[in-house]
A = this chain, B = another copy of it.
Amino acid sequence: MPKLSNSLKAELQDVAHALADAARPIALQYFRNPDQGLENKLERGFDPVTVADKSIEREMRRILAARRPDDGIMGEEYADTVGTTGLTWVLDPIDGTRSFISGTPTWGVLIGLNAGAGPVLGIVDQPFTAERFWGGFGQASWTHLDQTHDIAVRECATLSNAVLFTTMPEVGTIAEAAAFQRVSYECKLTRYGTDCYAYALLAAGNIDLVIEAGLNAFDTQGPMGVVQNAGGIVTDWQGGPAHQGGQVIAAGDPRTHEQALVLLNS
């Protein structure tokens, strides 16, 4: 991992916010717009990609080319750019396209910065609610309109007190859904349909667990950067590194994290 000086950290934070700032007006131009230019990424099934997705990633890449030309870029929509600094920007221009095309304000613009072993910073931005969840270099905050507050995960000693979120009831494979249900059964409350917004709520101390499967690196590292810098834990379902995606569990409290891991693997 490259050495990050304080001035470099400040620059990276500034660039991350610039990327999120650039994404907002483009996303809002297409959100709840009947003419939003849907495309079908898959021939079968329904994996919508919007013109907004591609427009935002192009704009982000333009900013990075100008301000951080030697960093790598991994985005959802375009081919990876290899860098020379050891730093890679991990971009998901619109995470939760199903929410996006349905009008629900729980999609987000995701930005992560990977220094090799995982993200050192992350942003989950929700343009419609005008919320930005930031985590980087040991500090996390929530900006809503013109107000910014520090955020932190909350304590939750046992699963019986935990609020659990995931995106779809199917979770992933049948075995993954069954593993999820073993945890869900022990939790106080399970909620669906929130995409990346669930990680933001966890980082802000509103909920206790997020468990998902079938994630990609580009939709994991932004949220992971927020949660980890707010004091939370993000691993795969075996307790190992999660930044490549796949089966991901995020927890605010190490005790519920451990209890959930046992059930996921029992």
Contact = CB atoms under 8 A, between A and B. Distances in A.
A148 to B, nearest CB: 15
Interface in A99-151: 99, 101-106, 128-129
Interface in A142-172: 154, 163, 165, 168-169
A205 interface: yes
A61 B38 CA distance: 46
A201 interface: yes
A191 interface: yes
A206 B169 contact: no
A248 to B, nearest CB: 19
Given A102-B163, A103-B204, A201-B102, A194 B191 contact: no
A102 B207 contact: yes
A104 B189 contact: no
A34 interface: yes
Contacts of A189: 46, 98, 101-102
Contacts of A207: 102-103
Given A101-B189, A103-B201, A105-B105, 9 more contacts: A102-B206, A104-B194, A104-B197, A105-B106, A128-B129, A168-B192, A169-B169, A192-B193, A193-B194
13 contacts: A34-B154, A34-B205, A101-B189, A102-B163, A102-B165, A102-B189, A102-B206, A103-B206, A103-B207, A104-B197, A104-B201, A128-B129, A193-B193
